């Protein structure tokens, strides 16, 4: 065998944590003060690499009901990045350094309690971050950790990351598992908090809601069509679009959707996305596949370490210098191109060169759809069409896949499928806020257009 063939395979951050994290020495463990009173523990555990960098895992642990509710990691970051990150955490939350044995017992006590009432931990815990923890065996001194309310019963508190739909799902589960009278709960609208939603007056919202609920469908449809007459059918909002009275429009959309949207069809699509979410991972990923490297292009652990910690500008500079204009670089050339004609030319040129690279393939299809040169087909819905033989994709890849699916549903005037995409984002915890916002902006314009089409269709069919 050649030296090249015997070279050790470079592990992705996820696989590194799974296979080697426990061999790294523990560095620091932190937990929020008052965790034992609130029943909610924010835990940070770090381990140190031989190069002095740190891999860090975060755990949101609900001792009252749900167990490990959220978790994520940062791989091989420098100590100054770690210190900066901890500083941001402690700006809003007082945290203390503690012994590893305490946080270990907290996590596993919560896991066991949640498991007894049928709740599984966050999927990234099962697949990745549990491997940052020591084995749960007799080597770890046992510490008694109380779970549940003062009587040991489940007590569900709706948190910031729990949508209303998620909260209802949890309460239904508790009804079935322990019985309606054997748990307690607190929902967000019952909490004593002041919410100041800029631009939305609660009284105006409620008054409009009452008015539109008392209207006939035809009356609400007429108002909605007046508010959205700036839209041509099947066109998205643009920067110059004007929406009169956003509060009224928001209420109208909500009321009209109750008359038009078929919930059973939305649920069918959601079932498909849920099944998919159980098979794939979305992560802050840098890998050979996500870069589009050829088999003969070397990719070392040193490369991975640098690219994982570098910002976008430094990352692209490093990639260009080492591998030249690989598909990942070409994709960002397209993204950064402001001239529409040049952008379209690059999309076609780069796709022709690398037709199987997911990001370039997606950009080409999007460009074709935007220019009405193709109609999206069902392959746009299939994960395997763009990512064959892969189970983990990057945030950028997930974003472009969701946009493609939204385009498919728009082209087929499928409002239920379109809505299901936005609802399905709840299945993936830890998605960056900027990515969620980008999808939401696309969704807002598309939903207006599809709802307008559906309203017109219903009016003309009467």
The predicted pLDDT at position 208 comes to: 61
pLDDT band at 10 (very low <50, low <70, confident <90, very high): low
Q: Residue 56 forms beta bridges with which residues?
A: 46, 74
Looking at the fold, whether 135 and 180 belong to one and the same domain comes out as no
The predicted pLDDT at position 434 comes to: 73
Strands across the sheet with 40-48, in order?
A: 67-77, 54-62, 40-48, 26-32, 95-97
Residue 101 has pLDDT above 90, yes or no: yes
The number of distinct structural domains making up the chain is 3
pLDDT band at 197 (very low <50, low <70, confident <90, very high): very low
Does residue 92 belong to any structural domain of this protein? yes
Higher pLDDT, 149 or 209: 149
Higher pLDDT, 316 or 433: 316
Among residues 148, 172, 199, the one where a domain terminates is: 148
Do 134 and 104 form a contact (C-beta atoms < 8 A)?
yes
Looking at the fold, whether 84 and 27 belong to one and the same domain comes out as yes
Q: What is the pLDDT of residues 16-31, one digit of tens each?
A: 999 999 999 999 999 9
How far apart CA 135 and CA 112 sit, in angstroms, is 15
Looking at the fold, whether 372 and 391 belong to one and the same domain comes out as yes
- Segment 67-76 shows an average pLDDT of 91
Least confident of 65-69, 304-308, 324-328, 426-430: 426-430
pLDDT band at 3 (very low <50, low <70, confident <90, very high): very low
Looking at the fold, whether 295 and 425 belong to one and the same domain comes out as yes
What tokens were used for 199? 């631009």
Does residue 220 belong to any structural domain of this protein? no
Residue 42 has pLDDT above 80, yes or no: yes
**Residues spanned by the domain of 167:** 157-190
Q: What is the pLDDT of residues 385-417, one digit of tens each?
A: 999 989 899 988 999 999 999 999 999 999 999
The predicted pLDDT at position 445 comes to: 78
Residue 262 has pLDDT above 80, yes or no: yes
Looking at the fold, whether 83 and 181 belong to one and the same domain comes out as no
How far apart CA 75 and CA 456 sit, in angstroms, is 51
Higher pLDDT, 66 or 257: 66
Does residue 205 belong to any structural domain of this protein? no
Among residues 148, 182, 211, the one where a domain terminates is: 148
């Amino acid at each position: 065998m050649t030296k090249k063939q015997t070279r050790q395979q470079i592990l992705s951050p996820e696989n590194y944590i799974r296979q080697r994290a426990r061999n790294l020495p523990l560095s620091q463990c932190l937990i929020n003060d008052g965790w034992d009173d609130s029943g909610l523990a924010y835990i940070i555990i770090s381990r140190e690499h031989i190069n002095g960098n740190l891999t860090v895992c975060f755990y949101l642990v609900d001792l009252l009901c749900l167990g490990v509710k959220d978790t994520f990691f940062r791989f091989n970051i420098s100590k100054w990045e770690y210190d900066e990150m901890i500083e941001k955490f402690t700006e809003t939350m007082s945290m203390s350094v503690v012994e590893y044995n305490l946080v270990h017992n907290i996590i596993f006590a919560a896991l066991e309690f949640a498991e007894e009432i049928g709740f599984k931990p966050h999927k990234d815990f099962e697949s990745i971050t549990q491997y940052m923890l020591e084995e749960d065996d007799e080597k770890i001194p046992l510490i008694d950790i109380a779970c549940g309310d003062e009587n040991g019963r489940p007590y569900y508190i709706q948190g910031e990351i729990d949508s209303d739909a998620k909260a209802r799902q949890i309460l239904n589960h508790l009804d079935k598992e322990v019985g309606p009278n054997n748990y307690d709960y607190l929902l967000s609208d019952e909490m004593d908090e002041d919410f100041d939603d800029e631009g939305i007056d609660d009284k105006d919202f409620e008054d409009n809601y009452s008015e539109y609920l008392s209207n006939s469908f035809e009356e609400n449809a007429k108002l909605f069509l007046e508010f959205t007459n700036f839209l041509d059918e099947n066109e998205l909002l643009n920067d110059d679009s004007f929406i009169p009275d956003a509060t009224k429009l928001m209420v109208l959309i909500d009321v009209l959707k109750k008359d038009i949207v078929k919930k059973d069809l939305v649920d069918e699509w959601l079932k498909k996305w849920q099944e998919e979410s159980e098979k794939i991972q979305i992560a802050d990923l840098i890998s050979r596949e996500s870069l589009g490297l050829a088999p003969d292009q070397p990719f070392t652990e040193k490369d991975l370490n640098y690219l994982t910690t570098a910002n976008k500008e430094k990352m692209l500079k490093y990639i260009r210098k080492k591998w030249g204009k690989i598909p990942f670089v070409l994709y960002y050339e397209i993204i950064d191109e402001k001239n529409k004609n040049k952008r379209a030319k690059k999309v076609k040129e780069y796709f022709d060169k690398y037709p199987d690279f997911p990001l370039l393939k997606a950009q080409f299809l999007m460009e074709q759809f935007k220019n009405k040169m193709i109609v999206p087909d069902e392959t746009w819905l299939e994960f395997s069409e763009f990512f064959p033989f892969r189970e983990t994709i990057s945030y950028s890849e997930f974003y472009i896949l969701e946009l493609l699916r939204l385009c498919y549903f728009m082209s087929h005037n499928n409002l239920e499928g379109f809505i299901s995409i936005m609802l399905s984002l709840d299945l993936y915890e830890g998605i960056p806020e900027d990515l969620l916002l980008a999808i939401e902006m696309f969704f807002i314009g598309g939903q207006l257009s599809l709802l307008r089409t559906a309203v017109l269709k219903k009016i003309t069919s009467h």
